[in-house]
Amino acid sequence: MGLFSKFKEVFKKEKKEDLEVYEKGLEKTRKEFVSEINVLGHKFHKVTDEYFEELESVLIKADIGIKTVEDFLERLKKRVKDENITDPEFLREVIIDELFMIYVEGDTLTDKINIQEEGPTVILMVGVNGVGKTTTIGKLANKYHKEGKTVMLIAGDTFRAGAVPQLEEWANRTDSLFVGKENADPASVIYDGLQKALEEKVDIVLIDTAGRLQNKVNLMNELEKINKVIGKFIPNAPHETLLIIDATTGQNGISQAESFKEITNITGIVLTKLDGTAKGGIVLAIKEEVNLPVKFIGLGEKVDDLKSFDIEEYIYGLLKDMM
């Protein structure tokens, strides 16, 4: 029994709470991806070089990434040879196994948030403008508030028009504390916020930052200054630096991840708008090409549609129609 076949049995017995959200959120990718693989199964009665060429095209269209696809096909061809696989129908199960292995093999990347047992957990949010950063912070505040934690939002994106009041609105909606001031030095706003967070014994601090990637040097200097201020107040903080990527931008999101890795210590990815794209394979490309764990994914517009990432549920949502 293949690796994923075991998980399939688990899912049959016990439907996990978020499974339906993953199914619905990955519907666009699944319909396109699975239907094209099914077409290959009907078109080819044997696994041939031509079959692999067309499979490569299907995988690239799902935004799994050219490097990841090349590695994947190499592994697939080896298994076809070693196990003497000739039937495309049987190969479908092997494809599921190998896609799963892309994510779980190699470096162990944790998709869990580094929550502190004592004192506030500080989460710094970075990303270019327009990827849904402020909304994601609001959704995270909602998640932690529902878990019974006290939350503070700090508006470190002080110069973008509307950014501070937008975050304050989210603070009001989620019963979170708020610190922000327009057109102020971001580091000084964060200084004031952390001081208040310690006084109020806050559990989770979510910090918004500017999303100007055009001038990397300026942004690097700003983030370095912010990190120093945070580290002075709370040792070993920030505990997470999460990069927000819009899944609908596809490979451009990979480029953003590579750029942000150069300028600050990214600990994980939040992938927004995954429900709005047929290119949901980007999750696998991020792991393989940038070596960063996906920690949350956005699977809809509702406040509860930001979910902790789960590789089993993701693969199930992506490929369930092939099982």
* pLDDT for 1: 47
Q: What is the pLDDT of residue 183?
A: 95
Under DSSP, is residue 68 helix (H, G, I), strand (E, B) or coil? helix
Tokens 């092939």 label which residue? 322
Among candidate residues 255, 287, 275, 267, the one with its CA nearest the CA of residue 227: 267
Gap between the Cα atoms of 282 and 102, Å rounded: 12
Residue 305 per-residue DSSP state: -
Going along the chain from its start, the domains and CATH numbers come out as 4-8+17-104 (1.20.120.140), 121-310 (3.40.50.300)
Q: What is the pTM of this model?
A: 0.91
> Residue 296 CB: number of other CB atoms within 10 A?
22
Spans of the chain below 70 pLDDT: 1-18, 106-110
186-199 vs 216-233: helix crossing angle, rounded to 10: 20
pLDDT in tens, 195-227: 999 999 999 999 999 988 878 889 999 999 999
Q: What is the pLDDT of residues 41-65, one digit of tens each?
A: 889 989 999 999 999 999 998 888 8
Alpha helices in the chain (DSSP H): 3-13, 19-25, 27-43, 49-61, 66-82, 88-104, 133-146, 163-173, 186-199, 216-233, 251-263, 282-285, 311-319
Go through 149-174 and write b for each residue having 16 or more CB atoms within 10 A of its CB, e for each that does not. Answer: bbbbbbbbbbebeebbebbbebbeeb
